[in-house]
Each structure stands twice: as structure tokens, then as C-alpha cells.
């Protein structure tokens, strides 16, 4: 959950107190929204928290691919692998 008193800060404040912000990022694992002229301009977060976010996104991507594949099977949008490879090899002029 975003804490607007701690997690939204001006870029100027972040520049002046970057060491304090890095400690906060590592401790809280929450991102900080940096503003310029009162408008959100960037988001800064701890490297470990960012990696966790990337891992979650990759897993969601894989799960969506599996869902789409299962939907294709249930709706009959499939073909035999050997048929696919024949077409692929012909299209790309690949010989075995």
C-alpha cells in the first residue's frame, strides 16, 4: 500500500537525501514516486523488490500463455506437429 506522506516525494528532496531514501527503500520494499512540479515523473524502488516484480510478471506471462494454449486446444485451433514442421520448412526453404 502506498503511503502518500513517505512514498511520494519531490525529485529535489530525493536528490538532497538520496542515502535516506535508499535505506527506506531497502527497509520498506515499497517504491517511491518522484515528482517534478507536483506531477509523477519517475518511480524508484529497491533492486530486490524490482526483481520480485519482474519474476511475478514473468510467471503471469507464462500462465497466460498456458491459458491461451488450453483455450486453443478446447476450441480446436491445433494441428499436428509434423504438419507444422512441413509447412515451416517449406516456407523457409529448409531441407532435412
Read off the pLDDT of residues 9-35 as tens digits, 9 standing for 90 and up.
999 999 999 999 999 999 999 999 999
Which SS3 state, helix, strand or coil, does residue 56 take? helix
Domain spans, the chain: 8-45, 49-91
Pick the CATH number of 8-45 from 2.60.40, 3.30.1360, 3.40.140, 3.40.1620: 3.40.1620
Beta bridge partners of 9: 34
Which SS3 state, helix, strand or coil, does residue 40 take? strand
C-alpha cell at 84: 507444422
Residue 1 has pLDDT above 90, yes or no: no
Contact present, 33 and 40 (Cβ < 8 Å)? yes
Rounded Cα distance, 79 and 81, in Å: 6
Read off the pLDDT of residues 31-57 as tens digits, 9 standing for 90 and up.
999 999 999 999 999 999 999 999 999
Amino acid at each position: 500500500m502506498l503511503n502518500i506522506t513517505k512514498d511520494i516525494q519531490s525529485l529535489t528532496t530525493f536528490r538532497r537525501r538520496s542515502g535516506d531514501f535508499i535505506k527506506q527503500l531497502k527497509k520498506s520494499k515499497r517504491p517511491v514516486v518522484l515528482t517534478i512540479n507536483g506531477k509523477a515523473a519517475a518511480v524508484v524502488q529497491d533492486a530486490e523488490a524490482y526483481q520480485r516484480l519482474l519474476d511475478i510478471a514473468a510467471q503471469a506471462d507464462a500462465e497466460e500463455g498456458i491459458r491461451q494454449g488450453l483455450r486453443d486446444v478446447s476450441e480446436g485451433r491445433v494441428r499436428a506437429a509434423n504438419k507444422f514442421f512441413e509447412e515451416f520448412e517449406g516456407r523457409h526453404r529448409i531441407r532435412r
